[in-house]
Amino acid sequence: MRSLRRPTVALGRAVAISALGISLVACAPRRQVDVGWAPTPTAIAAQGLEWLGVHKGDVVAELGCGDGRVAVVAAQLGADGLCVELDPLLAAKARAAVAQAGVADHVRVIEGDIFQTDFSRANVVFFFLLPSVNDRLLPLFRRQLKPGTRLLSREFQFREWPAEQTLSLPGFTFYAWTLPPRAVAADHP
Ligand SMILES: C[S@@+](CC[C@H](N)C(=O)[O-])C[C@H]1O[C@@H](n2cnc3c(N)ncnc32)[C@H](O)[C@@H]1O
């Protein structure tokens, strides 16, 4: 399993400039992923999503969807999916996985940054990131998502909002929350 720590992803195109026979290569600034890729085994993803009660009619956003395997599981449970991945190679893998599983009509793969993507139509959000990234996402969840949206995190909670439900499996833990009505949300950190 690869490290969760932040490997660099080159997002910019290299630009070659040639003058007087001398070649210079200038790269656009690199954007780092916030967390490296560490995949959730398919069977474990299925247990987590089934535990949460994902079903037909749900729209599941996966933030940092890696090679798309969890989004495929969600689609196989009948949900529509939004798979957001910053690493271009992983996003391409996710597209291929979704096509191969025959669920391309139900899962949209977006190559992009979770902090710059509109996933407001989701009513379920799955993420396997890091505690610090979860904490940065929480205000975004509160702004973007409808009350009642279910959040499912593998391994990590929010620092100041303990999980409402926990599923412990050998070697894996899922945490779940439901976004409260906005008036109540104001009382949460
Ligand atoms: C620990 S992996 C989880 C992959 C997948 N969700 C799973 O459970 O199999 C985290 C993923 O988030 C992606 N990622 C990290 N920072 C991101 C960002 N800011 N925007 C989009 N994807 C990001 C990484 O490239 C990686 O694929």
- pLDDT, one tens digit per residue, over 38-58 is 999 999 999 999 999 999 999
Q: Is the CB of 61 under 6 A from ligand 1?
A: no
Residue 11 covered by a domain:
no
The per-residue pLDDT string of the chain (189 residues; one tens digit each, 9 = 90 and over) reads: 444 555 444 444 343 434 444 444 445 556 899 999 999 999 999 999 999 999 999 999 999 999 999 999 999 999 999 999 999 999 999 999 999 999 999 999 999 999 999 999 999 999 999 999 999 999 999 999 999 999 999 999 999 999 999 999 999 999 999 999 986 655 555
At residue 38, the pLDDT reads: 98
Residue 56 covered by a domain:
yes
Residue 12 covered by a domain:
no
Closest residue (by CA) to atom 13 of ligand 1? 64
Q: Could you tell me the distance, in angstroms and rounded to a whole number, from the CA of residue 165 to the centre of ligand 1?
A: 23
Q: Is the CB of 130 under 6 A from ligand 1?
A: no
CATH, residue 55: 3.40.50.150
Q: Is the CB of 155 under 6 A from ligand 1?
A: no
Q: Is the CB of 73 under 6 A from ligand 1?
A: no
80-94 residue pLDDT tens: 999 999 999 999 999
Residue 37 covered by a domain:
no
Lookup: tokens for 5: 């720590």
Residue 180 covered by a domain:
yes
Closest residue (by CA) to atom 27 of ligand 1? 66
User: Which domain covers residue 122, as residue numbers?
Assistant: 42-185
Separation CA 90–CA 77 (nearest Å): 22
Residue 35 covered by a domain:
no
Number of the ligand 1 atom closest to the C-alpha atom of 9 = 25
Separation CA 54–CA 60 (nearest Å): 8
Q: Are 59 and 79 in contact (CB under 8 A)?
A: yes
Residue 1 covered by a domain:
no
Domain count, the chain: 1
- Element spanning 127, H or E: strand 124-127
Residue 20 covered by a domain:
no
Spatial CA neighbour of 39 closest among 82, 97, 78: 97
